[in-house]
Amino acid sequence: MSTKHILPRSFYLRDDVVLMARELLGKVLLTRKKGLITSGIISETEAYKGIVDRASHSFGGRRTDRTEVMYAIGGTAYIYLCYGVHSLFNVVTNRKDIPDAVLIRGIIPLEGISIMEQRTGKKNSSGRFASGPGNVAKALGIHYSESGTDLTARRSVTGSLDIWIEDRGIPVDSDHVSATPMIGIHYAGEDALLPWRFLWKE
DNA sequence: CATAGGATCGCCT
DNA sequence: GGCGATCCTATGT
């Protein structure tokens, strides 16, 4: 696994979070926890355009202890606890102080499958047993306490977990990608600013 | 300090 | 399709 495939800072620094959500499909999300490497091909994402997105934790530019990480430089991990049970993993994008993020909602398990089966207590019979944002983090051993990890440094805040994303040139045909606006949110004439979900079905 | 609620999941009917 | 789990976070007094 060559470091040249790690997504560079420049990938995350761009302005269009919806574009990045689309481009993250087919990229490989990896973790190394206590020397164990697990990974999966990103198959579902959702863009959160912080300031203008009612569904975003940083809507309206709100800053709290939890959401402060969303204002970090692109390429940082924003991870938080949902419903007291699930860690949800997001990729922060854009420049510092602009709180855009992409939620990783599904992966196709790739490396370390038996470890991920152990972590989730599920078998890989479906090929997508690690889909759903809570399951993604669970399978990869990601915990909300790792929020703030730099995805480009391969060195975590805690030192116990590395998280990074690689481009291995996996092609994702547009014909197999469905893009849907989030349900239940309507801004007249502001469709381009809606949160956006991308699902890759092979 | 007290309280309500959440970018979900899996089990139940 | 409904609902409980489970605990942190944000907000209000």
Identity at A27, one-letter amino acid code: K
**Residue A92 contacts by C-beta under 8 Å, 6 or more apart in sequence?**
A12, A69, A70, A72, A73, A74, A75, A76, A77, A78, A99, A100, A101
Q: Separation of CA A84 and C1' C2 in angstroms?
A: 20
Q: Separation of CA A130 and C1' C5 in angstroms?
A: 20
> Region A15-22: what's the mean pLDDT?
96
> Region A19-25: what's the mean pLDDT?
97
Strand C positions within 7 A of protein Cβ atoms: 5-11
**Residue A168 contacts by C-beta under 8 Å, 6 or more apart in sequence?**
A5, A27, A28
**pLDDT for A189:** 45
The strand pairing partners of A30, in sequence order, are A39, A164
Q: Is the pTM of this model over 0.85?
A: yes
Q: Report yes or no: A20 and A90 within 8 Å, Cβ to Cβ.
A: no
Q: Separation of CA A81 and C1' B3 in angstroms?
A: 19
Say if residue A157's pLDDT is above 70.
no
Q: Separation of CA A46 and C1' C3 in angstroms?
A: 26
Footprint of strand B on the protein (CB under 7 A): A 46, 48, 55-58, 70, 78, 81-86, 88, 90, 101, 103, 120, 122, 132-135
DSSP state letters, A36-101: EEEEEEEEEEEEE-GGG-TTSTTGGG---TTGGGGGSPTTBEEEEEETTTEEEEEEEESSTT--EE
- Other beta carbons within 10 angstroms of residue A29's beta carbon come to 24
**Range picked from A85-94, A149-158, A171-180, A189-198 for highest mean pLDDT:** A85-94
A90 or A193, which is more confident: A90
Copy the structure tokens of residue A139. 């399978």
**pLDDT for A184:** 40
Return the nearest residue to C4, CA–C1'. A83
Q: Report yes or no: A17 and A93 within 8 Å, Cβ to Cβ.
A: yes
Nucleotide nearest to A78 (CA to C1'): B7
Q: Which helix (H) or strand (E) holds A17?
A: helix A17-23
pLDDT confidence tier of residue A161, bands split at 50, 70 and 90: confident
Nucleotide nearest to A53 (CA to C1'): B7
**pLDDT for A127:** 79
Q: Separation of CA A171 and C1' C13 in angstroms?
A: 56
CA A189 to chain centre: 28
Give dist(CA A166, CA A92) in Å, integer: 16
Give dist(CA A117, CA A104) in Å, integer: 19
- Other beta carbons within 10 angstroms of residue A159's beta carbon come to 7
A176 or A153, which is more confident: A176
Q: Give me chain A's average pLDDT, please.
A: 90
